[in-house]
Structure 1
Amino acid sequence: MKEKIKAYRFPIILLSSIVTGSIIGLIFGEQATLIKPLGDIFINLLFMVVVPLVFFTISSAIASMDSMKRLGKIMGSMMTVFILTGIIASFFMLAATVIFQPGSGVDIPLIEPEEVEEISLADQLVETFTVPDFVDLFSRSNMLALIIFSVLIGIATGLTGEKGRPFAKFLTSGSEVFMKIIQLVMYYAPIGLGAYFAALIGEFGTALIGDYAKAIIIYYPVSIIYFAVGFTCYAFIAGGKKGITRFWKNILAPAATALGTGSSVAAIPANLQATKQMGVPKDIRETIIPLGATIHMDGSCLSAMLKIAFVFGVFNMDFTGFDTFLTAIGVSLLSGIVMSGIPGGGFIGELMIVTLYGLPIEALPIISAIGVVVDPPATMVNSTGDAVSSMLVTRQVEGPHWMEAAVD
C-alpha cells in the first residue's frame, strides 16, 4: 500500500494543490485573482523551455534507434497496429465527447484577433508543417514544424554512423539537461497550479468544478469499456476465441501493476511474462512490449481527445464539423503515439493542443489538471494495450495459426 501511495505521490500533491486553490477561489471569490501572477510564472517557465525540450528529446530518441533497422517486418507491423488502435481509441472518445459534451457548462471568453486572414488548405498545410526560415523554429507557434525538423535531425544523425556519434551524444546530453530543467520547474508546480486555480475558480465560480467532475465521469467508464470491449475484439482478431481466453487469463497482472504503479514502464516485466504465456514469440514480445511502453498509448489517445473537447467547451468554441474532428483525431494520435515516446510527452502533447488551436496560455493548466485525474485508468489502458498489440503483430507476422505453436 505504501508503495502505491509513493508511486502516486506527486500526482496526489498536484491534485491536492488544485483542490486547495479551488477552495481558496470559492472562499475569496474575485479577490483570489491577486495570486494569479504566481500561476502565470509557472506557465511561462514551461513555455520558456518547450522549444529546446522538444528538439533535444525527439532528435536524440530517433538518433539512438539503430536496433530498429534489423526488425523491418516486425516494426512495420507494429507501427500499423499502433496507429490503427490509436485511431480507434480516438474515435471512441470522440463519440463520447460529442454525446456528453465535457466543458460545456462554463464560458471563458477567448480573445480573437480583429482580422483573420483567409488562406487556402494547401497554404495552411505548408505553414503548419514547415517554416520559411530557421529562426522561426524557435517559436512555439510552429510546433509541428519543429517536430519534423527534430525527426530529420535524428534520422540524419543515425544515418551518419560513426562520424555522427559525437553529435548524437550532444543531443542525448541536451535532452537530459532540459529534462532536468523541467524537473526543477515542476517543484514549483503545486504552488503555480494552486495559485492559478484559485484565480480561475474565483473568477468563474463553481461551473468549472462541475465540468471537471463531468470530464472524470466521462473518462473512467469510457476507458473501462474500451479496455473490456475493445481489447476483447483485438484479441479475437489476433487469435479467435482462443486469443480471447489467453488474453484475459494473463492480462490481469500487467493491468494491476500499471494501475498500482502509475507507470507503463514498471509494468514491462509483468507484460513480458503475460505475453509469453499468451504464446507471443520471444523476438516479437521483446520488441513490442518495451517500445510500446514508450510509443503506444491508447489511454493517452483517449485522454487527449477528452482534453481537446473539454477545452473547446470551456472556451465556448465550436467542436463540430469534419475538419475539427479530423484535426482532433490527428492531435490525439500524435499525443498517444509520437509524443508519448518522449519523457514528459504528456505535457508536450498538452502544449501542442494549446498551440495548434491558437488557445491562450491559460488553457494549459486547465487541460493539465485532466491529465492528473485520469492518469490511473489511462496508464492501465496504455500498458495492457501493448500486450494485445503484440498478439495482433504476431498474427500479422506469423499468420493466422500462430496460436497453435507451443509457448516458448
Structure 2
Amino acid sequence: MKKKIGLVPKLIMGIIAGILIGQFAPEFLVRVLVTASSLFSAFLKFVIPFIIIGFVTAGIADLATGAGKLLGVTTGIAYGSTVTAGLIAFTVASVIFPSFIDPSVAGNIGDPEAGMLSAIFSIPLSPMVDVTAAIVFAFTMGLGISALRNNGKGETLFNLFQEFQEIVTKTLSTVIIPLLPIYIAGTFANITYAGQVWNILGVFWRVYLIVIPLHIIFISLQFITAGAISKKNPFVMLKNQIPGYLTAVGTQSSAATIPVNVSCAEKNGVSKNIREFCVPLCATIHLSGSIISVTSFAVAVLMMNGMDYGLTTMLPFILMLGIAMVAAPGAPGGAIMSALPFLPMIGIPSDGGLASLMIALYLTQDSFGTAANVSGDNAIAVIVDHLNNKWSKNDKSKKQHN
C-alpha cells in the first residue's frame, strides 16, 4: 500500500524545488513556473470572496443552536482568547523580532518582489464580488439566518449556505491545497531569481523558533487561568491534554481531533453536556494558535519591508481576524486562506509574492497552530463548566428561597 505524502512535506519539496529552479534553471523555465503560479494566484483571488461567504455566513448562522447564555459566554471567551493571543503575539514580535530584523536586514532584502520575472501570459479573472462586499454580505446573512433560526425559521437558507460551504471546502481540498506546492515553488523560484531568497529564509527560521514555543506558553496560560477559576490543578489538566495536542499535530485537523479532545475534557472533569457542547463549538470559533502564527508572520513581513507594524496598524487586523476565521478550521489551510483578504488592512497585497510567502510560512507550521487551537478549547470548556455549575447552584438556591 502506497503511503500518502502529507501537505507539509509537499510544501517543503515545493520550496526546495523553487529555490533550485530559480538558482540554476534558464530564465524561460523560471517564467513558465512563474506563469503557472500567476494563474493559480488569479484563481485564488477569485475564490477568496466565496471562502468568506461560505465560512463566515455558515459559521455565524450555526451559532443559533446552543443553550442561550452558555452559547454567548462560550463565544465571548473564545473570541477574547483569540484576540488576546493575537495581541500577545504582536507584543512578542514587536519586542523580539527587531533583534534579527533590523533596518540593515530590511535594507538587504528590500522589496522581495523587485527584480522578479513577469508571467508569460495572464488570464483576466476578476472576483465576482470584492472582499468588502463579501464580508458585509456574510455578516448580514449570517446574523439574519441566526435570528430566523431562533424563531423556528430560516432552515432552508441555513442548509443552502451549509452546502455552499461544502462546495468551497471541496474546492479548497481538491484544487487549491493540492496546487499550493506549485504556487509556492513558483514564488520561491522568482524570489531566488531576484536574489532575495537566502536573506528571507535567514529571517524566518528565527521566527519559527519564537512562534512554536509561543503556542506552548499560551496554552499554559490558558490552563493556568482555567485552573485559577475552577480551582483545578492546571498541570494535571495540561498532562491530560497531551493526547489531544499530539492528535492535532498528526492530523492537522481540529475536526478530526474532536473525539480525542472530548475524552481529554472528560479526564479534566468537564461534565458530559458541557464537553459535548463546548469542544465542537470551540473547534470552529476558537483559533488562538492560528492567530499567533498569522500575526507573527505578518509582523515579520512588515518589518522586512520597512512598513508600519504599530498597534494602530495591527489592532484592527487582529480584531477582524478573530471574527473572519470563524469556521475556517473546517477546511485545510482555512485559517490562512480566511486571513488573506485582510492583509491589505496592514499594507500587504492579498495576492502576489508576499501573500504566497505568508501561505508557505503558515502552512509549514499549521499542525502546531491547530494543536494550540484545540488545546485551548479544553481550557475554555473547564471555565464554561465551572460557570455553568455556579449558575445552576444559584438557580437552585433562588428556587429554594422562593
Same structural fold, with TM-score higher than 0.5 when normalized by the shorter chain: yes
Alignment of 1:147-186 (within 5 A): 147-155=138-146, 158=149, 161-162=152-153, 164-182=154-172, 183-186=174-177
TM-score (norm 1): 0.80
Matching residue's letter, 2:319 = G
Question: What is the alpha-carbon distance in structure 1 between the residues aligned to residue 304 and residue 206 of structure 2?
Answer: 12
Secondary structure of the equivalent of 1:188? helix
Alignment of 1:5-404 (within 5 A): 9-28=6-25, 33-34=30-31, 35-68=33-66, 71-101=67-97, 104=101, 105=105, 106-108=109-111, 138-142=129-133, 144-155=135-146, 158=149, 161-162=152-153, 164-182=154-172, 183-203=174-194, 204-228=196-220, 230-240=221-231, 242-320=232-310, 322-334=311-323, 338=326, 340=328, 343=331, 345-360=334-349, 361-362=351-352, 363-399=354-390
Question: What is the alpha-carbon distance in structure 1 between the residues aligned to residue 259 and residue 156 of structure 2?
Answer: 33
User: Do the aligned partners of 1:301 and 1:335 also contact (CA within 8 Å) in 2?
Assistant: no
The residue that corresponds to 2:122 in the other structure is none
Alpha-carbon deviation of 1:329?
Answer: 2.8
Question: What is the alpha-carbon distance in structure 2 between the residues aligned to residue 262 and residue 364 of structure 1?
Answer: 21
Alpha-carbon deviation of 1:290?
Answer: 0.9
Matching residue's letter, 2:176 = V
- Describe the shift of the 1:249–1:341 C-alpha distance in structure 2 as closer, same or farther (beyond 3 A): closer
Deviations 1:237-277 (A, max 9, x none): 2333x332541341122122222222222222222122112
The answer to which of 275-284 and 39-48 deviates more is 275-284
User: Do the aligned partners of 2:36 and 2:186 also contact (CA within 8 Å) in 1?
Assistant: yes
Question: What is the alpha-carbon distance in structure 2 between the residues aligned to residue 319 and residue 110 of structure 1?
Answer: 19
Alpha-carbon deviation of 1:46?
Answer: 0.6
Secondary structure of the equivalent of 2:256? coil
Secondary structure of the equivalent of 1:177? helix
Alpha-carbon deviation of 1:91?
Answer: 2.2
Deviations 1:90-126 (A, max 9, x none): 1221122112227943221789xxxxxxxxxxxxxxx
Gaps of 5+ in 2: 115-126, 394-402
Matching residue's letter, 2:86 = S
Aligned length: 368
- Describe the shift of the 1:200–1:149 C-alpha distance in structure 2 as closer, same or farther (beyond 3 A): farther
Secondary structure of the equivalent of 1:251? helix
Gaps of 5+ in 1: 112-135, 403-408
- Describe the shift of the 1:63–1:222 C-alpha distance in structure 2 as closer, same or farther (beyond 3 A): closer
Secondary structure of the equivalent of 1:206? helix
User: Do the aligned partners of 1:157 and 1:167 also contact (CA within 8 Å) in 2?
Assistant: no
Alpha-carbon deviation of 1:350?
Answer: 2.7
User: Do the aligned partners of 1:63 and 1:157 also contact (CA within 8 Å) in 2?
Assistant: no
- Describe the shift of the 1:154–1:14 C-alpha distance in structure 2 as closer, same or farther (beyond 3 A): farther
Matching residue's letter, 1:16 = M
- Describe the shift of the 1:30–1:235 C-alpha distance in structure 2 as closer, same or farther (beyond 3 A): farther
Matching residue's letter, 2:73 = S
User: Do the aligned partners of 2:52 and 2:338 also contact (CA within 8 Å) in 1?
Assistant: no
Matching residue's letter, 1:83 = Y
Matching residue's letter, 2:276 = E
Secondary structure of the equivalent of 1:280? coil
Question: What is the alpha-carbon distance in structure 2 between the residues aligned to residue 341 and residue 244 of structure 1?
Answer: 26
Secondary structure of the equivalent of 1:318? coil
Question: What is the alpha-carbon distance in structure 1 between the residues aligned to residue 147 and residue 72 of structure 2?
Answer: 20
> Percent of aligned positions with the same letter in both sequences?
22
Deviations 1:141-177 (A, max 9, x none): 5554344234245335535745x43333332332222
User: Do the aligned partners of 2:289 and 2:373 also contact (CA within 8 Å) in 1?
Assistant: yes
Question: What is the alpha-carbon distance in structure 1 between the residues aligned to residue 391 and residue 46 of structure 2?
Answer: 51
